[in-house]
Structure 1
């Protein structure tokens, strides 16, 4: 299995990632081998979901795990009770739990060079998961059961990453919150079983169930590689090579640390020279190995 299981234009996307949302339609049985509502219900009612894989969401926020955790497992019956109260169950790290999802995640990682993770979201009829937010990675939403609507707004932050524009640390400004409160979404995508939504990083969304059936979908996160990541891998390789030079391992005088101007100039000159002399094919191999090594 690979990206072509999910997307009709996977070959084109490997050449240039989509920068706008796109909805794909498939038959309702296409993704049953990955995960079913019946499987999730069985794990809930048998009490076999480990705490490390469980997050409960209610009223748009995560429920304190102390309310439902008992050691390594949730309190028996608590998750079902929360679902009956219209909470959403989020199952995290399914690529480590379910072989078909493990195989799909590994295949996509090998195909794209992106690190991946797989979560599932089980929301009862009339339920609403997280309120408006955005992710710092491409999200592939794969609808497995029921229907879910995805109101979407364009990004407030262009190309957010872990260390810049991350919603978890940044949130929304007051102006952005007012915009979301009073502005209809630019687009609302309603997904039924077999549908897949490509949602680029940064797009603001707040999904909710539609109809009388609970919704179950998986999200496959694709953490894109960026020019900054390439630069960091290249610089890291050059600096690791620098350890072979005794002068680069010599100690700095405390005065040079307190006033590092001259040391910084020497370091800059070293990096410029090392990068100018570096073999581009060797650096390309370094970056390729970094992209495709197991996460």
Structure 2
């Protein structure tokens, strides 16, 4: 997991430590318990209830009801004849019988959660997702398991006892995900997870749990409402895959069929692998490190899906600079500039190319810097408020900027 230094970061607000201290914890594979400054700042139980009670932003595939590791069949909590539409009365009945409600992709249906996830993802350069768990008193939802991603648990209401054990499989990836294990494999791993540590999380507590740690949690005397923020780290394997993609785009040798299955001896197979590795090493030495970092970061951002609900006013062209006080570059956006001549510069963003005066470049650089920028700042950089507003409107229309408030 990597990141960039910042002060007053989202990470510090979440767990109370700066990036460098956090990376040391990650490198050591340790867990950490901290206090959140505002545990219900992302979403309160009342807000969550409002979100799932009306015409729901969640479909049947986004929600689960589970008790002691056994999921409730979908037709037990969806409208008859529609696997996508949630039946509120059935959900309430299931919770009253001890089932935990799991709501996935909260970062995509709640704007505050989406904004928080985006900022954390930008700091850590990793895909981030947020799920919610509502558990009735004295109940347990999931059985003991591990995750293939790191997790921050924020206890919003109530309390839960977490039993955690160090990894049996170090640093599991998606291929080693718990869901892909056979029953016998899962039982074997669970049997090796000995001497668990019991941690009680109360409202306001945050638990950081590295991937691979076995864990289970149960609510205590009252109900429990918590969020899990999953962070999917970019591994060395991921970087090598990107290296291979770059090399394959440059050299058709990598795109041609391998003769591996037509080889008769072990030595021929080893020679084929040796040739491939040599070409990878030679080719990788020619790749620009900044370019590789940019490609990996873009891939991570594309996996986020955490921009949150797009404002309808923007989609309709109503969100003009006159009713927007500040804007921000969309997460993961790639952009570039090309000088056309002494007077003009082309700005390329996905799906659009804007030709602007060279004098607009400082304002463009500011607007696409990744931080929140006010209209006034953009106008000062350009020296013309009306032209700056036109520039903001053009970038909004192209989807390069998002309004931070209207």
Kept after mapping to 2: 8 A contact 1:14/1:112: no
Distance in 2, Cα, partners of 1:237 & 1:255: 22
Distance in 2, Cα, partners of 1:95 & 1:16: 27
Q: Greater relative contact order (Cα 8 A, min sep 6): structure 1 or 2?
A: 1
Match of 2:295 in 1: 286
Change (3 A) 1:134 1:46: same
Residue 33, structure 1, aligned to residue 41, structure 2: yes
TM-score after normalising by structure 2: 0.63
Match of 1:62 in 2: 71
Match of 1:239 in 2: 248
Which stretches of structure 1, 4 residues or more, deviate above 6 A after TM superposition?
A: 254-257
After TM superposition, the structure 1 stretch with the greater mean CA deviation from structure 2, 110-119 or 67-76, is: 67-76
Distance in 2, Cα, partners of 1:161 & 1:5: 28
Distance in 1, Cα, partners of 2:278 & 2:31: 44
Paired residues in the alignment total 283
TM-score after normalising by structure 1: 0.85
Residue 209, structure 1, aligned to residue 219, structure 2: yes
Unaligned runs of 5+ in 1: none
Change (3 A) 1:95 1:13: farther
Whose Rg is larger? Answer: 2
2:210 to 186, 197, 200: 200
The 5 A counterparts of 1:1-295 are 2-13=10-21, 15-18=23-26, 19-26=29-36, 30-46=38-54, 48=56, 49-70=58-79, 71=82, 72-163=84-175, 165-170=176-181, 172-179=185-192, 183-185=194-196, 187-211=197-221, 213-243=222-252, 258-259=262-263, 267-293=276-302, 295=304
C-alpha distance after superposition, 1:50-82 (max 9, x if no partner): 323211112322222132223221224000000
Change (3 A) 1:142 1:127: same
Kept after mapping to 2: 8 A contact 1:130/1:206: yes
Unaligned runs of 5+ in 2: 1-8, 305-406
Q: CA deviation at 1:266?
A: 5.3
Kept after mapping to 1: 8 A contact 2:247/2:254: no
Q: CA deviation at 1:41?
A: 3.1
Change (3 A) 1:208 1:15: closer
Distance in 2, Cα, partners of 1:201 & 1:159: 6
Change (3 A) 1:35 1:283: closer
C-alpha distance after superposition, 1:116-156 (max 9, x if no partner): 11000000111111010010111000010000110111111
Kept after mapping to 2: 8 A contact 1:47/1:76: no
Q: CA deviation at 1:287?
A: 3.3
Q: CA deviation at 1:257?
A: 6.9
Distance in 1, Cα, partners of 2:24 & 2:14: 17
Q: CA RMSD in A?
A: 2.7
After TM superposition, the structure 1 stretch with the greater mean CA deviation from structure 2, 259-268 or 16-25, is: 259-268
Kept after mapping to 1: 8 A contact 2:248/2:254: no
